[in-house]
Amino acid sequence: MTRRTQENVISVLLLAVFGGVLWLCQDFGPRARLIPQPLAVFGIALTLIQLVWHNMGRDTAPAMEMISVDPGAIPGEGEGRPREERTQEQLGRWGEAGAFCIVALLLALVFTAGIFPAVFLFTAGYLILSGYCTPLRGLTYSVVMTLAIYLLFVWGLEMQPYHGLLGAWFGRNGTVY
């Protein structure tokens, strides 16, 4: 089977999957269709564009392969076996326990403060404390990300967010009970 035939078979299978999702979501209510229906339509459109591009866009073989590996660039001390242990540099100072603590911290923030403060605090803390960004840039990214999530869920999908355990202490006008 040629590469073009393989690509066409996969594209037809993707069309069938997206078409099935589109057909199944017709039984959903209007709010339940908000996510799967646009994704299925978008997937069908992209798959059709891919089919046209693959079959009519190129008459000859592609000028280069998608993945090209230079065998001389691979060091020979591994003797062909993958390394199973992680180095201390890969794990960092805290190792895997640190990764579990980060996930536990995010969950604790969501349960206590709610989703929006948790997203802001977690993103800002991670970006600033990891040294990935300067404090101003980390805060800017965090505000933009929190605002994007708010606009998507509260304004776009009209969903009520989880306000956390501390949300019960605050009234509608922000006063503490």
Mean pLDDT, residues 133-151 taken together: 90
Rounded to whole angstroms, the Cα distance separating 31 from 151 reads 16
- pLDDT higher than 50, residue 20: yes
How are the residues of the chain apportioned to helix, strand and coil, as percentages rounded to the nearest 5? 65, 0, 35
Place of tokens 């693959």: 54
Burial of 13 (0-12, 13-18, 19+ CB in 10 A): exposed
DSSP codes of every residue in 33-61? TTTHHHHHHHHHHHHHHHHHHHHHS-SS-
Q: Identify the pLDDT of residue 177.
A: 43
**Tokens in use for 10?**
């996969």
In the predicted model, what is the mean pLDDT of residues 84-102?
66
**What pLDDT is stored for residue 64 in this prediction?**
56
CA nearest neighbour of 35 among 159, 130, 161: 159
For the chain, domain boundaries: 3-56, 93-169
For 102-153, the DSSP string reads HHHHHHHHHHHH-HHHHHHHHHHHHHHHTTSS-HHHHHHHHHHHHHHHHIII
Report for 2-11, 77-86, 98-107, 154-163: range of highest mean pLDDT: 2-11
User: For residue range 97-107, what is the model confidence (pLDDT) as tens digits?
Assistant: 777 888 898 88
Asked whether the beta carbons of 146 and 123 are under 8 A apart, the reply is yes
